[in-house]
A and B are shown apart, each in its own frame.
Chain A
Amino acid sequence: MQHGKYRFIVGFLAVPLGLYALFVVWPFIQSIYYSFTDWTGLSPEFKMVGFDNYKRMLNDDIFWKSLQHSLLFALVLPIVTISLALFFAFMINVGGRRRRGGPALTGVRGSSFYKIVYFFPQVLSIAIVALLFQFAYNPDSGAINSLLRGIGLDHVQPLWLGDPGLALWCVMAVLVWSTTGFFVVLFSAGMASIPAELYEAALIDGASRATTFFRITLPLLWDTVQSGWVYMGILALGAESFAVVQIMTTGPGGPDYSTTVLVLYVYQKAFRDGQAAYATTIGVALLVVTLAFAAIVMRLGRRERLEF
Chain B
Amino acid sequence: MKTTETPAPLPAEPGASVSTVDVPVPRPGRREREGTVLNVFSHGVLVIWAIMVVMPLAWAVMTSFKDDGSIFGSPWALPDRLHFENWARAWTDANMSDYFLNTVLVVGGSLVGTLVLGSMAAYVLARFDFPGNRFIYYLFIGGMSFPIMLALVPLFYVVNNMGLLNTIHGLILVYIAYSLPFTVFFLTAFFRTLPTSVAEAAFVDGASHTRTFFQIMLPMAKPGLISVGIFNFLGQWNQYMLPTVLNTDPDKKVLTQGLVQLAVSQGYKGDWSGLFAGLVMAMLPVLGAYVVFQRQVVQGLTAGALK
Chain A residues in the interface with B (C-beta under 8 A)? 1, 4-6, 8-9, 11-13, 15-17, 19-20, 22-28, 30-31, 34, 41, 80, 83-84, 86-88, 91-92, 95-98, 108-109, 114-128, 131-136, 140-144, 146-147, 150, 172-174, 176-177, 180-182, 185-186, 189-190, 203-211, 213, 224, 227-228, 230-231, 234, 237-239, 242-243, 246-247, 263, 266-267, 270-271, 276, 279-280, 283-284, 286-287, 290-291, 294
Contact = CB atoms under 8 A, between A and B. Distances in A.
Contact of A142 (B20, B75, B260, B301): B75
Contact of A208 (B17, B53, B200, B263): B17
A131 B153 contact: no
Contact of A128 (B19, B121, B155, B282): B282
Contacts of B239: 125
Given A24-B177, A28-B146, A16 B151 contact: no
Given A12-B123, A118-B50, A263-B149, A134 B263 contact: yes
A147 B240 CA distance: 30
A239 B146 contact: no
B283 A19 contact: no
A108 B35 CA distance: 11
Contacts of A41: 153, 156-157
9 contacts: A13-B121, A23-B178, A25-B139, A80-B3, A128-B279, A132-B57, A210-B13, A239-B240, A266-B149
Interface stretch (B81-89, B90-98, B291-299): B291-299
Interface in B52-73: 52-54, 56-57, 59-60, 63, 71-73
Nearest to A207: B20
A106 B128 CA distance: 46
Nearest to B243: A127
A123 B297 contact: yes
Nearest to B199: A1
Given A19-B176, A108-B39, A284-B150, A206 B11 contact: no
B104 interface: no
Contact of A286 (B5, B150, B173): B150
B42 interface: yes
A282 to B, nearest CB: 9
B136 interface: yes
Q: Which of B23, B123, B244 is packed against the most chain A CB atoms within 10 Å?
A: B244
B5 A210 contact: no
B39 A95 contact: yes
Nearest to A34: B154
Nearest to A212: B10
B195 interface: no
A126 B237 CA distance: 11
B46 interface: yes
Given A128-B259, A206-B23, A20 B155 contact: no
A283 B279 contact: no
Contact of B241 (A146, A189, A204, A239): A239
B158 A84 contact: no
Contacts of A189: 302, 306
Contact of A185 (B20, B151, B298): B298
A238 B148 contact: yes
Nearest to A227: B305
Contact of A19 (B63, B177, B302): B177
